[in-house]
Amino acid sequence: MPLNKAGKPHCVNHENIAMISDKDTINVLTTATVRDDDISFDASKGALVKVFACPVCGYIELYWDKELSRRVLERRKQAPKVAEPASAVADPAHKAAEAM
């Protein structure tokens, strides 16, 4: 990420404009499946990212939050497995999505 003379992240299009980021929000970059007018997200896959945006032009940069991702992965490995509902297991579309 480009830094200005003060060491703050700035927009690549506007060197005098500081990028903004919500430090209290966790963002997830994940895959989406679009079918007709429906969209679904796979919350079991993806990357935790920090988002920085230019308030003038909307330019964004995403940075992987490696440390938070590592901690979440460790917790998921330690968590007990939750059985899927029978309807999800029997649904062929669900099985196809899992195979991706």
Q: Where are the domains of the chain?
A: 27-99
- If one compares 51 and 24, the residue with the highest pLDDT of the two is 51
How many Cα atoms occupy the beta-carbon half-sphere of 16 within 13 Å? 0
The C-alpha torsion from 48 through 77 and 74 to 94, rounded to 10°, is: 0
For the stretch 80-100, pLDDT in tens is: 776 666 555 555 555 555 554
Total-model pTM: 0.57
| 3-50 per-position pLDDT tens digit | 777 777 888 898 888 899 887 888 888 888 899 889 998 877 788 888
